[in-house]
A and B are shown apart, each in its own frame.
Chain A
Amino acid sequence: MKISLEWISQYVDISDLEPDTIANNLTMATAEVEGVEILTRTIQGIVVGEVVAVEKISKDKNLSLAEVECGGKRYMTVCGAPNVRIGMKSAFAPPGVTIAGDLKIEKSRIAGHISEGILCSSRELGMSEFHDIILEIPAAVKTGTLLSEIMPEKDAIVEIDNKSLTHRPDLWGHYGFAREIAAIFGRELKPLDLDDLTAYQSLPEYPLEIQDYAGCPCYCCMEMKLAVRPSPLPIQWRLHALGQRTFNLLVDLTNYIMLELAQPMHAFDGDKLKAVKVGPFGKEGTFTTLDDQPRKMQSKDLMIWNEKEPVALAGIMGGVNSEVSESTSKLLLESANFLGSRIRRTSVRLGLRTDASQRFEKDQPPINTKVAIQRFISLVKQSGADHEILSRLTIDGDLKDDFRPVNVSVDFLNARVGMQIPKSEMFRILKSLGFTAEDKDDKTITAGIPPFRSAKDISIPYDILEEICRVYGFDNIEPQLPQQYTEAVHVNVKLRNEHKARRTLALGHGFMEVHTYSWFDDYWLQMLRFDPGKTLVLENPSAGNMSRMRTTLLPNMLNLVRQNNLHRDEFRLFEMGRVYQPTEDDKCDETTRLCGISYRQTKSYNLELHFRELRGILEDLALATSAGDLSLSPLEETKDKSTIAGHQAKIMINKNKVGFIGIPENRILKELAPNAQVIWFEIEFDKFFGPIYPAIKYERSSEFPGSWMDFSIVWDTDAGYDKLIEKIDKFSHPLIVKREFVALYKGKPLPQGKGSYSFRYLIGLKERTITGEEIEEFKKQYLEFLKSQELELR
């Protein structure tokens, strides 16, 4: 949204304020200013001239030789504009004058004719970028008048961020901003010149009926005749400054009032209309808008109807069938109010966003439908254009022109601000914004919300608070810390454990934390031949293959091996993230998972050692997060598509399954990184943690040194370590302090399938040193035990 400060200066005196000061204050009190641009018109030496003769001199180039009269002087000029014609007035740059683009006009020869000076387009005057036609100046302006005497040379265009205006329909016009500026700087806001329209009360009403008050709360119209002629210059330069083309008084005025009051207007060819109805399209079909585009309509789209024929897409664009043309003798002027969401839905669907729809989307106040017509008639009269009013102002619906009262306690206001603002200041601010304000009692103010402020924007005491504060100045509020809590702030055990797990992996085990997306990539799942089964599905995924929400972190993590295997020959990655399981009742069970991957670009490294490293990390994790006793089931080959093919083992905490650790099969490895080792684990983290500060129980160490003893036991490697432990756990002896697993040896001279498992026992007593006999006796008993279990020493 662009604001012309020259235009604003028509309503409030800002002559002593720098544009940057105004911009800055608007940002602080009203809406975000994106920038200020100074517009400089190049009008020194330009005079108003009348075209007194025109002769076409070149058909293909559309060149004319025109004679221009400028206050007694006459010039011949070659002109390429299509709108040059006898009797028109325009801006003429005689020789010696410099026009926009730093171009000095000199007498020259064009197409065999002498050309002394040029008739200027808006761009040549620095008024805008429009260059296809020359400026048309109303006949009332005397020829020979210097343009610099009737048009200001400078303007400042303030650009406002549209996003900061979504809740302020009143700020989609200049008068709204003028009101803000007047309030911020404590100045007077000049009232708009409005025609009271009482003179036309005796005229007949126009046949008007709203059939859908929800979609169209209020509709005003008036039938009239209006001469086709150029708009007064101020209207033209203001529209041009804001990037709007000018056409003729009718079109320009509807645009001008929209930019002034934020109320869009529309003019129908009155000859083609008999009566107006407002209602939905009612079926599916086509409607041709005045840009000649056929539009696909839906039943609910709101239309303006002429009896049984739709003539306009309400609030968006008129129809080609009722467009004002040169033969139009009378107009029907529409000024209506539409429900924002209805207009937006249609305009978004059709991809047809207009200045009008942009404003209606914000829910304009109904009062402006009438104000806009009053303003229109007033401006027509000021322009001196011939016109005739044919109907009285006809209104259907509710104008909602009352001030809406809201009671606000002064204590409430001061408590929410956090400081005392004098009541007189509150009154001053409210009134400067167009509110009424009076004492209800000594503790309460009754504020009257003006009808031009939207009900969505302002209706409760908090809204009044905002109005007062922003004009009072947020900078004037002294920062103040709230009272300290006296109660303890509890640590979130789960989140803290998530961090603990992160630290254990990253600080202690060289893992790198990554993030992957919350959905699967179906192509990748196919590559893995992995089927996650039922998942939650996105209605509007970012891509067709990304519609399924992840139920495990693993596939996306495995993809990272493929993506990164060229960058390093060894890495460990983890992700702590959410997975989403559909529930029976079609909702979502969202849980946290921890997935890790260890990658080594080698086949020669001992896979069992690699695996044991990972198991060690899991054991550390379980210890660090006080999860409980960690154990793994034996590795088993996976059988169905609901798991990643390969081998995997259950990860258990206190014998309950909390996840899996696995090794993908070769086929998958080939996809990830050939000739590499990949081991993964995935833990259901919500089941994995205990207290963050566990009460670890101290046990006194013996003061008497114990004795270490090593035993290497031969055992079936296929049967596995756990089974061996089950056996040797059966041996209990009062001297055992602890037992440690030292190493596993496989290879010669042991036969295939056998391993030597070395254990180290510490034996001793707390109260004294044990004797050599006791040691010998222990050894004897242990060996006897092994024999009874049919276990051999190596």
Chain B
Amino acid sequence: MKQIQQQLIDDLSKASSMKEVEEIRVRYLGKKGLLTLQWKNADFKSMSPDERKNFGIEFNKTKNLAEAKIREAMEKQQAAGSRSIDVDATLPGTDRRLGCLHPITLIRMELEEIFHGMGFKVLAGNDVEEEFYNFDALNIPADHPARETQDTFWLTNGMLLRTHTSAYQVRAMKKFGTPLRAIFPGRCFRYESVDASHENTFYQLEGLMVDIDISIANLIGVMKTLLGEIFRKEVTVRLRPGFFPFVEPGFELDCQCLICEGRGCPTCKSTGWIELIPCGLVHPKVLEYGSIDSEKYSGFAFGLGLTRLAMMKFGIPEIRLFNSGDIRFYGQFPASGSI
């Protein structure tokens, strides 16, 4: 009898609906119920009067308890009303499938989308490049310091690992002609020792626009629009001279510090400005190398440091983390920002 009683309590505790409680009532107290059968099948003849009496008391006690418990369970189910299922919605979810994208990919996807919206094609050059396209075609003469081994990874076959995505400029011009609006993101290499702030492998995004009468005013206009899209607010920019052999005039485009709004803070080294985009009008010699008539056409080019932008956007303090292979780093960038 004790066993039946315990079993009943267990069953009731598992019941999650009125229907189940009703089933339990029938199972124990129905005409053929477990408890009912205890009485029906009892062998009263072999019992002494005392035993009979005790059995009766015990049976009634159990039956009363059972009825009370069932009533209680029914009330509980009634009270629960519509919540008649046993699901704890506050438990953490399982079977999650969302993985992670590399922070460089996240920035790339974002920029590619912005540029696509501004009418730029997305192209890709090669990591291994001819010396000609990385240097000569960009008006970087043979005796330029950048060509010496301290900056460039050279291959034994005379080719090199491109030192900048600008290496694709002339190839893009030759392949697509004018008018040309294109960006080309990619991996770049510099012969450098790797530490917290130096990497021999990093990512850039080069942009190029060539058409009739492209001007400095156009360059500023496009850069302002671009930065407005990246930072999702109006940004103040300034253009100052910067020297790069493949543009003339060459500029450094600074963006007013978004943290201090130009008042000066540690991020902008108290200058109020963040140096962001080297750019300029494409040097006529570069246009000529790209088989474009430099009398008729002009253009501008600009370079974005994807690695640097990713560091800024995600607050990544050390450049070497990008290629560290450490999943504790990559694991922090859920694939939320993908197109």
Contacts and interface: CB of A to CB of B under 8 A. Distances in A.
Contacts of B240: 27-29, 32, 474
A479 interface: yes
Contacts of B251: 474
Interface stretch (B51-59, B78-86, B216-224): B216-224
A586 interface: yes
B291 interface: no
Interface in A296-322: none
B327 A512 contact: yes
A417 B283 CA distance: 14
Contact of A477 (B143, B145, B217): B217
Interface residues of B, number: 80
A489 interface: yes
B338 interface: yes
A499 B338 contact: yes
B40 interface: no
Interface in B24-52: none
B127 A590 contact: yes
B241 A539 contact: no
Interface string A546-558: 0001000000100
A709 B82 CA distance: 38
B221 A482 contact: yes
B109 A499 contact: yes
B215 A418 contact: yes
Classify the secondary structure of A's interface with B.
mixed
Interface string A528-539: 000000001111
B99 A507 contact: yes
Interface in A585-632: 586-588, 590
Contact of B218 (A31, A481, A564): A481
A466 B325 CA distance: 45
Contacts of A484: 119
A510 B153 contact: no
A508 B96 CA distance: 9
Contacts of B218: 418, 480-482
Contacts of A474: 216, 220, 238-240, 251
Choose among B119, B193, B216, B239 the residue with the greatest number of A CB atoms under 10 Å from its CB: B216
B279 to A, nearest CB: 11
Contacts of B155: 536-539, 549, 588
A540 B189 CA distance: 12
B161 A518 contact: yes
Nearest to B217: A418
A462 B284 contact: yes
B195 interface: no
B195 to A, nearest CB: 12
Interface in B145-179: 145, 148-149, 153-157, 159, 161, 179
**Most chain-A CB neighbours within 10 Å: which of B124, B128, B241?**
B241
A509 interface: yes
A463 B331 contact: no
A542 B241 contact: no
A577 B105 CA distance: 12
A29 B149 contact: no
Contact of A166 (B126, B191, B243, B326): B243
Contacts of B193: 542
B5 interface: no
Contacts of A416: 215-216, 281, 298
B200 interface: yes
A790 interface: no
B102 interface: yes
A560 B325 contact: yes
B214 interface: yes
A560 B127 contact: no
B88 to A, nearest CB: 24
A482 B211 contact: yes
Interface in A414-472: 415-419, 460, 462-463, 465-466, 469-470
B219 to A, nearest CB: 8
A418 to B, nearest CB: 3
Interface in B109-152: 109, 112, 116, 119-124, 126-128, 143, 145, 148-149
Given A499-B339, A572-B99, A481 B239 contact: no
20 contacts: A32-B242, A416-B281, A417-B216, A418-B216, A474-B251, A489-B116, A489-B119, A489-B181, A494-B124, A495-B122, A512-B99, A513-B99, A513-B330, A518-B127, A538-B155, A540-B154, A542-B200, A549-B128, A556-B325, A573-B330
Interface of B: 96-102, 104-105, 109, 112, 116, 119-124, 126-128, 143, 145, 148-149, 153-157, 159, 161, 179, 181, 187, 189, 191, 193-194, 200-201, 209, 211, 213-218, 220-222, 224-225, 238-243, 248-252, 281, 283-284, 298, 322-323, 325-328, 330-331, 335, 338-339
Interchain residue pairs A-B with the least CB separation, the first 4: A418-B217, A418-B215, A341-B143, A466-B249
Given A416-B215, A541-B153, 10 more contacts: A28-B240, A31-B241, A168-B243, A345-B143, A481-B221, A491-B116, A492-B123, A513-B101, A588-B155, A590-B126
